[in-house]
Amino acid sequence: MARIRRRVRAHGKVQGVFFRDSTREEAERREVKGWVKNRDDGSVEAVFEGEPDMVEHMVWFVRNGPGSSDVARLDVDDEEPEDLRGFKMT
């Protein structure tokens, strides 16, 4: 099955609101591989890799702001899959 990879960066009220943990839980439910982490500038960055429908769902999930977050802007970039294993929260 084809795999795709998206790198996203969420800006707005995205730190201190369980954004990373909610994203990790959703990715694990969808069997999407990758990682999510806080950035020093207050944004959250994540990489999603897996089946196209599941990865696009994760982009939608982050864009709509899990929990009590408020995503003001979402940057999305396509990348080549790297055959990641599991999903990490750093």
State the catalytic residue, choosing from 3, 7, 9, 38. Answer: 38
Whether 38 is catalytic: yes
Q: Which residues of 42-56 are buried (b: 16+ CB within 10 A; e: fewer)?
A: ebbbbbbbbeeebbe
Take residue 18 and report the two structure tokens written for it: 């369980």
State the catalytic residue, choosing from 5, 6, 20, 30. Answer: 20
Whether 64 is catalytic: no
| CA pair distance 49, 51, nearest whole angstrom | 7
Residues marked active site are found at 20, 38
